[in-house]
Amino acid sequence: MSYSEFDSESEPEQPLSLLLQAIAPKLMLCRIREFEPEDLEACVEIYRSNAPDYLSEEGLEAYIEFLALGTSYYLVIEHDGEIVACGGLELIGDSDTATLVHGMVHGEYHRQGFGTTLLAARLALLECEVRPQEVWVNTTAATLPFYGRFGFAYHSSSGKRPGADEGRASVWMSVDDQDIEDIRYALEERGIKIFLNDPNEDDTEEEE
């Protein structure tokens, strides 16, 4: 199957933002591409490696259903030929809102920079040319410190976004076009490319 290459063409026009200062040093060289049906087993294994410390064992069935239905984007990270992380980005209609969904790193690869790289890759897919984009994550107490270091914060004193699942809190941050350009440039500088499935390409072509 062929992929379209996602990269950046310009250098940052101003000093790195606090977001980039948190992201850039931890980027991990890897290959990032969109999820394909044959990745299901690897993604399920990643989920299981995070249960029950970070994910509920009861949620696995819903996760498998989510993968079967598909979403706006669901990415996998490959390292040394293995899928070590995966996560999605859902764009909410024509609004300036996006949600990071089902982001996880295999338990054997925690604290190596893959979580940060996965976050950066999903943010790099955003377009914020007109107005800043609100990015939401529905997360657990165990992963709140991870998102906090990048500037995600509670929406209100209750820590709950309307509709958030019981036992989970929603956090958010605002990113603008300069943030996105900086992230794309940082990924490119590290040699990290994102390959998106291109339905307009002939599936018989070889990947460049």
The predicted-structure confidence for 18-55, as pLDDT tens digits, reads as follows 899 999 999 999 999 999 999 999 999 999 999 999 99
**Cα dihedral 148/153/157/159 (nearest 10):** -70
Omega prior to 12 cis, within 30 of 0: no
Q: What average pLDDT does the structure give for the chain?
A: 84
Name the DSSP letter for residue 51: T
Q: Which residues of 40-57 are buried (b: 16+ CB within 10 A; e: fewer)?
A: eebbeebbebbeeebbbe
Chain centre distance of CA 162 = 22
Mean pLDDT of all residues in 137-161:
79
Q: What is the pLDDT of residues 67-82, one digit of tens each?
A: 999 877 999 999 999 9
Nearest Cα residue to 112 out of 51, 42, 28, 189: 28
pLDDT at residue 15 is higher than 70 = no
Domains within the chain, CATH numbers bracketed? 3-197 (3.40.630.30)
Overall pTM surpassing 0.75 (yes/no): yes
Mean pLDDT of all residues in 106-128:
96
Sign of the torsion angle spanned by Cα atoms 76, 107, 123, 191 = negative
Answer for the pair 116, 23: CB distance below 8 angstroms, yes or no. yes
Sign of the torsion angle spanned by Cα atoms 45, 49, 55, 60 = positive
Q: H or E element: which one contains 154?
A: strand 153-154
